[in-house]
């Protein structure tokens, strides 16, 4: 009779030591309906809860690590872009002064125009980096999200090309947000550009809006504070995103495109603007 009570306790003790040592798959196999069985079932439930909370903690740590990485990269890139923008402004100004002084038939004129064109493209890139690092001056205002999307629909269709069909679903009750119009438009354009590159043979691209109420611990909107939001959803029939790429898709300058095709800032910019 003593062994009948002691053996289950010893078994549970070994199971507890195994979990403490890192074997999170360990569970008690005691199935009796007495006190020992009740204790074993409670032990197994506790072990399942530990695994779930540990997984959630790992996910939170990874999200925090990614956010810290993006923030550090944004600060670093923003500082460089700010200084570079000052140099580019000087280069462009001096080049324009030189163009105004040399004769129209001068052989150096084409070279100066090339310098000015390259400097303008570099300045555009620095503006994108400043947006990512949140150092660009923005003018937030109350915007109807549907109106913003309707206003750039033609541009989105031209961007997608003839092989891709563009559709939108914009219910009237979607609501408004306080944001910078230019940034909101650029988010949509960046999503459309990524969709286009994922469908080289053609397909469908769809934009939709929806009012969303996020509740505490909402698994569908991890990291978003509870409250009322407007969701902009972009969906396409492209090849999808590989799991390895998903982990890095918001990193600045990371790109799956061939060298010379894009800066790798599109989704990083979208991320920074939404934040």
Query: Which of the four pLDDT bands, split at 50, 70 and 90, describes residue 36?
Result: confident
Phi, psi angles (nearest 5°) of residue 201: -95, 5
pLDDT at 46 (0 to 100): 81
Side-chain half-sphere of 103: how many Cα atoms within 13 Å?
Answer: 3
H or E segment and range at residue 158:
helix 153-160
Kindly tell me if the per-residue pLDDT of 93 is higher than 80. yes
What mean pLDDT is reported for the chain? 80
Q: Which CATH number fits domain 1-137: 3.30.750, 1.10.150, 1.10.3470, 1.10.287?
A: 1.10.287
Q: Does domain 141-274 have CATH number 3.30.565.10?
A: yes
Hey, where are the domains in the chain? 1-137, 141-274
Give the separation between CA 160 and CA 164, rounded to whole angstroms: 6
Q: Which of 5-14, 126-135, 217-226, 229-238 has the highest mean predicted lDDT (pLDDT)?
A: 229-238
Q: Average pLDDT of 201-225?
A: 87
DSSP 221: G
Cα 246–Cα 247–Cα 253 angle in degrees, nearest 5: 90
Kindly tell me if the per-residue pLDDT of 262 is higher than 60. no
Give the separation between CA 109 and CA 92, rounded to whole angstroms: 14
Give the separation between CA 269 and CA 275, rounded to whole angstroms: 10
């Amino acid at each position: 009779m003593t062994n009948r009570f002691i053996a289950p306790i010893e078994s549970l003790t070994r199971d507890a030591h195994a979990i403490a040592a890192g074997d999170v798959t360990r569970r008690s196999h005691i199935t009796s309906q007495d006190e020992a069985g009740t204790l074993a079932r409670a032990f197994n439930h506790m072990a399942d809860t530990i695994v779930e909370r540990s997984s959630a903690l790992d996910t939170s740590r990874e999200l925090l690590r990614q956010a810290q990485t993006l923030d550090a990269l944004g600060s670093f890139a923003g500082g460089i872009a700010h200084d570079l923008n000052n140099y580019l402004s000087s280069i462009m100004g001096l080049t324009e002064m030189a163009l105004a002084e040399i004769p129209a038939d001068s052989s150096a004129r084409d070279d100066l125009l090339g310098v000015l064109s390259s400097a303008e493209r570099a300045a555009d890139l620095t503006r994108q980096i400043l947006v990512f690092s949140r150092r660009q001056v923005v003018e937030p205002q109350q915007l109807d999200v549907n109106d913003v999307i309707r206003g750039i629909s033609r541009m989105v269709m031209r961007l997608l090309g003839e092989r891709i069909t563009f559709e939108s679903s914009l219910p009237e009750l979607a609501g408004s947000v306080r944001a910078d119009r230019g940034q909101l438009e650029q988010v949509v354009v960046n999503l459309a550009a990524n969709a286009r590159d994922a469908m080289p043979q053609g397909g469908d691209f769809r934009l939709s809006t929806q009012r969303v109420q996020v509740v505490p611990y909402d698994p569908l909107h991890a990291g978003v504070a509870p409250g009322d939001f407007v969701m902009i959803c972009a969906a396409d029939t492209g090849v999808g995103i590989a799991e390895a790429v998903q982990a890095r898709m918001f990193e600045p300058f990371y790109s799956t495109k061939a060298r010379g095709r894009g800066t790798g800032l599109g989704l990083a910019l979208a991320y920074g603007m939404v934040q």
